[in-house]
Amino acid sequence: MTKLFKVAAATALLVSSVIAADYTIKLTHVVSPNTPKGMGADFFAKRVGELTSGKVEVVVFPNSQLYGDGEEMKALKLGNAHIAMPSFSKFTSIVPEMQLFDLPFIFRDKDHLYKVLDGEVGKILKDKVSAKGFVALDYWDAGFKHLSSNKKALLVPEDAAGQKFRIMSSHVLEAQFKTIGANPQVLPFSEVYSALQQGVVDGAENPLSNFYTKKFNEVQTDLTLSDHGYLGYLVIMSESFWKKFPADLKPMVLQAMKEATEYERKLAAQDDEDTLKKIKEYGAQSGKLKVHTLTAEQKKAWQVAMEKIYPQFYSVIGEDLIKKVQAVK
């Protein structure tokens, strides 16, 4: 689909929606509508319509129909879209402290994660993003990351030595793998399957949803449920759009976002559970994939090995911010 066609289609949708509503919010995202993030966006649109009695309509553009992964934030700045939900990695160039989310084992579990996101640290980071010309609304869930390989089962840190792992572009992730003797290689997500298949890299780290939907289970022999890292999204709004938005309708939009956040997180948790079952079934039926659950002792060994990188990032992320996360009970 050409860019011109995308814009034309978007305009046609907006014309039809403006007839029915006083105000229109354009929400753009890059995933399928049937993912937790996609369903959360649709739920938000539905609740905004209900809470404002039809005065506000949210038009959702999924699957990069309006803007691609690297274009969303610029589109919000220009006012061409109003809400987006980029992954945390998209913010690190403007707010280096957002690299906090890349630190391995910084979150003990989901309960600890949500306490951090919805507490003081989460607010500090949202305020830093908002200071860059956005309105930071809420954190949405993608899931904890797990290690996989087609070379050797990853049960202790030493198992990773010499293996090549695909990473997103991140100084933290680079250090994370180097500290355990592995070789990190930055590759676009779209190239991961073929890179694993052809042996360009031996392994990767992914949430279960990415691992299964992108069929990495077909090109990896071992999956370790490590929960060592986290992937999430920050829902942001165009600051210029929000400033002009009617004050009496703002509370309804914020309420809808609060409800959508709770809904999306529940969907993400259920999706993780369902996907793990599918992965285990695939492994049992094909005999080509082994799924490993770490013992407490093994997990502690990974944590101790990887946490050694924290001091390298005190000056960038802030030692105080890291310690605030660790102090959350």
**Tens digit of pLDDT for each residue in 72-99?**
999 999 999 999 999 998 999 999 999 9
Domain residue extents for the chain? 3-142+231-272, 146-230+281-327
Task: Quickly tell me which residue has 């945390």 as its tokens.
Answer: 88
3-class secondary structure, 205: strand
- Give pLDDT, residue 189: 84
**pLDDT (tens digit per residue) in 54-65:** 999 999 999 889
Question: Are 317 and 100 within 8 A, CB to CB?
Answer: yes
- State CA 104 to chain mean position distance: 15
Q: Any idea what the Cα angle at residue 111 is, between residues 117 and 215, rounded to 5°? A: 85
Cα–Cα distances (Å) from 262 to 124, 229, 268, in that order, read 21, 21, 10
65: its two tokens: 């129909």
Asked whether the domain spanning 146-230+281-327 has the same topology as the one spanning 3-142+231-272, the reply is yes
CB count in 10 Å sphere of residue 244: 9
Confidence label for 20 from pLDDT (cuts 50, 70 and 90): low
Q: Assign domain 146-230+281-327 to its CATH superfamily.
A: Bacterial extracellular solute-binding protein, family 7 (3.40.190.170)
pTM: 0.86
Least Cα distance to 259 among 54, 64, 17, 45 occurs for 45
- Give pLDDT, residue 174: 97
HSE (side-chain half, CA atoms, 13 Å) at 33: 10
- Give pLDDT, residue 62: 92
Residue type, 329: K
Question: Are 49 and 84 within 8 A, CB to CB?
Answer: no
Confidence label for 16 from pLDDT (cuts 50, 70 and 90): very low
- Give pLDDT, residue 5: 41
Among the ranges given (59-68, 98-107, 223-232, 294-303), the one the predictor scored with the smallest mean pLDDT? 59-68
pLDDT higher than threshold 50 for residue 314 = yes
Question: Are 160 and 304 within 8 A, CB to CB?
Answer: no
Mean pLDDT, the chain, integer: 93
Q: Assign domain 3-142+231-272 to its CATH superfamily.
A: Bacterial extracellular solute-binding protein, family 7 (3.40.190.170)
Question: Are 166 and 185 within 8 A, CB to CB?
Answer: yes
- Mean pLDDT over residues 115-122, rounded? 97
Question: Are 77 and 133 within 8 A, CB to CB?
Answer: yes
* 86 contact partners, CB below 8 Å, separation of at least 6: 69, 72, 73, 233, 234, 236
pLDDT higher than threshold 60 for residue 19 = no
Least Cα distance to 228 among 197, 246, 205 occurs for 205
Q: Cα dihedral angle (187, 172, 262, 72), rounded to 10 degrees?
A: -50
